Amino acid sequence: MKKVGVAILGLGVVGGGTYKILKEHRELYQKSYKIDLTVEAVLERNRERAVSLGVEPEKIAANIQEICSNPDVDIVVEVMGGVEPAKSFVLDCLHAGKSVVTSNKELFCKYNHELEVAAKKNHCGLFYEASCVGGVPVIRALLDNLQGNKILSMMGIINGTTNYILTKMAAEGAAYEEVLKEAQKLGYAEANPSADVEGYDATYKLSILSSLAFHTKIPYTKIYREGITNIAVADIEYGKKFGYVLKLLAIGKNGDNGIEVRVHPSFIKSTHPLASVNDSYNAVYITGDCVEDVMLYGRGAGALPTGSAIVGDIIYCATHTNYQYSTFKNTEGPAPGTKFIDNFESAYYIRLNATDKPGVLAKVSSVFAKCKISVAQMSQQRDPACEDGTVPLIFITHVTHENNVNRAVKLINESDEIAKVAAVIRVVS
């Protein structure tokens, strides 16, 4: 039986879950895969936590050099989070000939080109299933199961915190600030929630996933990003009347005119499979030219779901000798000639606080016509009126360009006689 030694860098929520799975399922892996996985070392500042999890004191390393020089360690699991010291530690391990499994989406998104160079040079494996969508095996699907397809698009709910917040706002009619506080108490949101609610977390994940799907480097800096901090309960309720559900979506498209990558709140039809993905669950909806539509769904975070993805990578690494690397030239920036679409097409939900007097609707229609925006649906809400005496006007447009809508918003806001734009939310067909 093949013996494989594992080291874990960090015994927080995910690291602790990983340790628990490896310890409790050791006999299962021996029987099923003919490998004996043992945790030979951990790097954890809180020794009491390590001991409480069952780690033998002599296996608690004092520094990364002890991990790198340990001949019994074959695979290193990095679950520390952040860029430093995680990046330096991972590079040290790769240069020492240790394969690495990581759940660190920020590190991998920003520096996977450097990590891959070190992995290739030292003939090591570099695995990162747990960096995106928790326990949902989307990366393995893109690498191994959907290879026969040209991936045309992907659309996903890939951040559990924002999905929980939007689900609660929709179900209870509670304001964003109120639900955020509740999410923080429950541990779904950090004390500083900006990485989640401003869309950075989803942007890092979309960078990784779209690079794999489209076989070209998609830097996170090329992704349009907009968070959920300005979402009002009123817009969620108005959206329901039109048959829509609000989600923070990560969208990637690979078309004839270029690549389109964006993260933002979106209205989606209540009949779409992603509309029923609630609370902290995640899902990715992938369209391939041969397979057509596939949706992968499950827990997007948590000790055991994320630990499941990490252990899956450990087993894959332990049972394969030919490691996979990027199918594209993996550099810091995009490949020369890669075209990115900024002026993308979408339908739009637009809410105006309109002056309650004759002729306003005609003036709004004139602005829309000038900006090449065609209205598909319109609703005038008489009750209740806004505090300033204005009346909500709500439009759902036909598909138009982003620049057209930005121009219309500017023109409307510049005219005190018409209205003020209260909300603009993209509508995904």
What is 345-428's CATH number, 3.30.70.260, 3.20.20.140, 1.20.1740.10, 1.10.3720.10? 3.30.70.260
Report the pLDDT value the prediction gives residue 80, as an integer from 0 to 100. 95
Q: What are phi and psi of 240, to 5 degrees?
A: -60, -40
Q: What are phi and psi of 330, to 5 degrees?
A: -90, 95
Report the pLDDT value the prediction gives residue 92, as an integer from 0 to 100. 98
Report the pLDDT value the prediction gives residue 390, as an integer from 0 to 100. 80
CATH assignment, 138-299? 3.30.360.10
Report the pLDDT value the prediction gives residue 189, as an integer from 0 to 100. 84
**Confidence band, pLDDT 50/70/90 cuts, at residue 419:** confident
For the segment 393-419, the average pLDDT, to the nearest whole number, is 93
Greater pLDDT, 8 or 380: 8
What whole-number percentage of the chain has pLDDT above 90?
A: 88
Contact 370, 362 (CB under 8 A): no
For residue 383, is pLDDT > 80? no
Report the pLDDT value the prediction gives residue 64, as an integer from 0 to 100. 98
For 153-211, how does the pLDDT look when each residue is reduced to its tens digit (9 = 90+)? 999 999 999 999 999 999 999 999 999 999 888 878 888 999 999 999 999 999 999 99
For residue 276, is pLDDT > 70? yes
Q: Please tell me the pTM assigned to this model.
A: 0.94
Q: Per-domain residue ranges for the chain?
A: 2-131, 138-299, 345-428
Whether 31 sits among the annotated catalytic residues: the reply is: no
SS3 track for the chain: CEEEEEEEECCCHHHHHHHHHHHHCHHHHHHHHCEEEEEEEEECCCHHHHHHCCCCHHHECCCHHHHHCCCCCCEEEECCCCCCCHHHHHHHHHHCCCEEEECCHHHHHHHHHHHHHHHHHCCCCEECHHHCCCCCCHHHHHHHHCCCCCEEEEEEECCHHHHHHHHHHHHHCCCHHHHHHHHHHHCCCCCCCHHHHCCHHHHHHHHHHHHHHHCCCCCHHHCEECCCCCCCHHHHHHHHHCCEEEEEEEEEEEECCEEEEEEEEEEEECCCHHHHCCCCEEEEEEEECCCEEEEEEEECCCHHHHHHHHHHHHHHHHHCCCCCCCCCCCCCCCCCCCCECCCCEEEEEEEEEECCCCCHHHHHHHHHHHCCCCEEEEEECCCCCCCCCCEEEEEEECCEEHHHHHHHHHHHHHCCCCEEEEEEEEEEC
For residue 384, is pLDDT > 60? no
Report the pLDDT value the prediction gives residue 388, as an integer from 0 to 100. 64
Please provide the average confidence, as pLDDT, over all residues in the chain: 94
Cis peptide before 384 (omega within 30 of 0): yes
Supply 383's token pair. 């009750």
Considering the candidates 98, 110, 205, 247, report the single residue annotated as catalytic.
205
**Confidence band, pLDDT 50/70/90 cuts, at residue 5:** very high
Cα–Cα–Cα angle for 324, 328, 331, rounded to 5 degrees: 105
For 225-274, how does the pLDDT look when each residue is reduced to its tens digit (9 = 90+)? 999 999 999 999 999 999 999 999 999 999 999 999 999 999 999 999 99
For 343-368, how does the pLDDT look when each residue is reduced to its tens digit (9 = 90+)? 999 999 999 998 877 888 889 999 99
Report the pLDDT value the prediction gives residue 382, as an integer from 0 to 100. 62
Q: What are phi and psi of 177, to 5 degrees?
A: -60, -40
CATH assignment, 2-131? 3.40.50.720
**Confidence band, pLDDT 50/70/90 cuts, at residue 409:** very high
Residue found by looking up tokens 């698009």 in the block: 153
For 100-147, how does the pLDDT look when each residue is reduced to its tens digit (9 = 90+)? 999 999 999 999 999 999 999 999 999 999 999 989 999 999 999 999
Number of Cβ atoms within 10 Å of the Cβ of 115: 22
Report the pLDDT value the prediction gives residue 302, as an integer from 0 to 100. 86
For residue 385, is pLDDT > 60? no
Question: With the C-alpha atoms ordered 136, 137, 142, 147, is the resulting torsion angle positive or negative?
Answer: negative
- Long-range (24+ apart) CB contacts under 8 A made by 372-375 are 372/400, 372/401, 372/404, 373/348, 373/397, 373/398, 373/400, 373/404, 373/405, 373/408, 374/398, 374/400
